Amino acid sequence: MGFMRIVGEIDPTRPLLVLAAAEEAAHLDDRLPVLLTGMGKVNAATAVASVLARGPRPTAVVNLGTAGALKPGFGGLTHEVSSVIQHDLDSAVLASLTGVTYGAPIGLTGRGPVLATGDVFVADEAARARLAEAADLVDMEGYAVAQAVRQFGLPVRLVKHVSDEAGEGAAQSWRESVDDCAKQLALWVAENL
């Protein structure tokens, strides 16, 4: 199935770690199973849904990964997200056409920032400024993972380490910082799971 890969065995007594890219998982030990989904919402949602449908189901899912900071003050830290939105789905237009709300914000148990998820690597100042009106961080998988996990009635947590400023130079910054981000995510797992 495309980019999906499971490292370890999914255990019904332990959480499952979900990450988009192998680079982000580079420093995780083998204590907990890891699902690598590939980047983007479609890869994340289909990988998580297929693994949970097949079973066994974990006790919870923890989506770890990198994120861009949309506002000052979030850089260099690992954050547990409080809620997540989709920034590339026009929910208002869809609701006006169908009367149904698609892609409503998802509230989570974390006390941290709001995450915006979309299928675009944000690397320009105009997009960053627009997204900063609604969120603090931006990624490409969080909403999809949360939505897929919720369909199975399992708890989900989104934990993101800031890799870049989501503006000019973000791609270069991600490449240069992803290994350090992976170390920080592994440290978070060791201290919190």
Residue ranges per structural domain of the chain: 5-192
pLDDT at 1: 46
Q: What whole-number distance in Å separates Cα of residue 131 and Cα of residue 146?
A: 19
Across the strands, what pairs with 156?
A: 61
Q: CB count, 10 Å around CB of 28?
A: 20
pTM across the whole model:
0.92
Q: Is 79 helix (H, G, I), strand (E, B) or coil?
A: strand
The SS3 of residue 154 is coil
Element holding 142 (H helix, E strand): helix 142-151
CATH fold group of domain 5-192: Rossmann fold (3.40.50)
Query: Tens-of-pLDDT digits for all 193 residues of the chain?
Result: 457 999 999 999 999 999 999 999 999 999 999 999 999 999 999 999 999 999 999 999 999 999 999 999 998 889 999 999 998 877 777 778 888 878 899 999 888 999 999 998 887 888 889 999 999 999 999 999 999 999 999 999 999 999 877 667 666 777 788 899 999 999 999 999 9
Of 86, 94, 83, 100, the closest CA to residue 45 belongs to 86
